[in-house]
Amino acid sequence: DIQMTQSPSSLSASVGDRVTITCRASQGIRNDLGWYQQKPGKAPKRLIYAASSLQSGVPSRFSGSGSGTEFTLTISSLQPEDFATYYCLQHNSLFTFGPGTKVDIK
Amino acid sequence: QVTLKESGPVLVKPTETLTLTCTVSGFSLSNARMGVSWIRQPPGKALEWLAHIFSNDEKSYSTSLKSRLTISKDTSKSQVVLTMTNMDPVDTATYYCARIIYYDSSGYLSRGIDYWGQGTLVTVSS
């Protein structure tokens, strides 16, 4: 099975900060990766698909990059509504979620 | 408008079998480019993929839970059912169903999860 790791597991940031989250796969997954945002008590919401394609309706401050085994999610200027937990999901071979990155207020 | 809604028991006893139903609208379970997945999340923990099913009845299961899971669908009712046997308190979680959709990705067909249901919390306790 493909394993996913994420770093950092948590981070504290201020509004306006640039934030980068990294996801690594245990083997190459091409660009079969999505990024999801989850707020407490809510279902996850997809932000990015195919590693770098922005989901319709998602603000352009979110971007994704990477291919193979290393991927990043970047928030160019953190907004108050972006404080949440972020998960990557590989779907190259079955499905595997990363362990999550919690972004909270500094 | 795509929606998915989970239903099932709120409380199950240890060793019992859990049966959850996902009722979808806004798309058809007979659509060859779509499927439905089940995912769970224990309180305060990460998401865990459990199983999925597609229109051609292709099914896949989590390696670690495969022996306990069965997924099926009733296309006429727009429902996907997940059963999990021999429930244990560690299976206490919010269970989500979600849509899988195929998309063109750099010259090949890939598939990812787009829409999610609201989730249903299942507690396992005697």
Q: Render B29-69 in DSSP notation, one character per residue.
A: TT-TTEEEEEEEE-TTS--EEEEEEETT--EEE-TTTGGGE
Give the pLDDT of residue A72. Answer: 98
Give the pLDDT of residue B110. Answer: 87
Residue B121 has pLDDT above 90, yes or no: yes
Asked whether the beta carbons of B113 and A87 are under 8 A apart, the reply is no
- CB–CB contact A49 B116 (8 Å): no
Tell me the pLDDT tens digit for each residue of A48-92.
999 999 999 999 999 999 999 999 999 999 999 999 999 999 999
What percent of chain A has pLDDT above 70?
Answer: 100
Distance CA(A56)–CA(A61), nearest Å, equals: 13
Residue B104 has pLDDT above 90, yes or no: no
Give the pLDDT of residue A62. Answer: 98
- CB–CB contact B114 A97 (8 Å): no
Q: Please give the backbone phi and psi of residue A52, each rounded to the nearest 5 degrees, phi first.
A: -140, 5
Give the pLDDT of residue A55. Answer: 96
B117 min Cα distance to partner chain A (Å): 7
The two beta strands, B18-25 and B48-54, are unpaired
Residue B45 has pLDDT above 80, yes or no: yes
Average pLDDT value for residue range B87-93: 98
- CB–CB contact B114 A49 (8 Å): yes
Asked whether the beta carbons of B34 and B99 are under 8 A apart, the reply is yes
Give the pLDDT of residue B108. Answer: 82
Give the pLDDT of residue B109. Answer: 83
Of the partner residues B47, B62, B111, the one whose CB lies closest to the CB of residue A91: B111
A56 min Cα distance to partner chain B (Å): 11
**Chain A residue numbers touching B105 (CB-CB < 8 A):** 30-32, 50
Give the pLDDT of residue B107. Answer: 80
Give the pLDDT of residue B93. Answer: 98
Residue B70 has pLDDT above 90, yes or no: yes
**Residue A18 confidence class, pLDDT cut points 50, 70, 90:** very high
Burial B50-81 (b: 16+ CB within 10 A, else e): bbbbbbeeeebbbeebeebbebebeeeebbbb
Interface probe, candidates B110, B111, B118, B121, chain A, greatest A C-beta count within 10 A: B110
Across chain A, mean pLDDT equals 97
A15 Cβ under 8 Å from any chain B Cβ: no
Average pLDDT value for residue range B26-47: 97
Average pLDDT value for residue range B16-24: 98
Give the pLDDT of residue A80. Answer: 94
**Residue B106 confidence class, pLDDT cut points 50, 70, 90:** confident
**Residue B79 confidence class, pLDDT cut points 50, 70, 90:** very high
Residue B105 has pLDDT above 80, yes or no: no
